[in-house]
Amino acid sequence: MKTIDKRRAYSEKRAVWLRNYQRARARALTRLAQQYPDQYKELLEQERLADESMAKTWLDVTGATSISSSLGVPTDRNNDTSRSEQADGDEQNEGNVGGEG
């Protein structure tokens, strides 16, 4: 088997594993958030603030962060709604986020 074929086979196997892991993890997180909504919101807010303080939050789909925005990447600062407010509003439309019951 050629080196490139080995790499491709490993990459495909890894992609399948990662997809299955992330899918199960997302369902578990959804269930935890439903069982412990207050703790989930508190932890989510702490993590959001930590990301913002380390300039790891994306400002748009290009992956621009506050560090790259200072380098001339255009950003839209007109939307001042906090993520926790957005999440609270989205909860009503959430339904079965995990996809399966």
pLDDT at 80 over 80: no
Q: Evaluate whether 76 touches 60 at the Cβ level (below 8 Å).
A: yes
Alpha carbons 5 and 14: distance in angstroms, whole number: 14
Instruction: For the chain, give every domain's residue range.
Output: 3-73
Higher pLDDT, 58 or 39: 39
Q: Is residue 93 pLDDT above 70, yes or no? A: no
> What is the 8-class DSSP label of residue 96?
S
**What is d(CA 101, CA 88) in angstroms, rounded to the nearest whole number?**
22
Q: Computed over its alpha carbons, how large is the radius of gyration of the chain?
A: 19
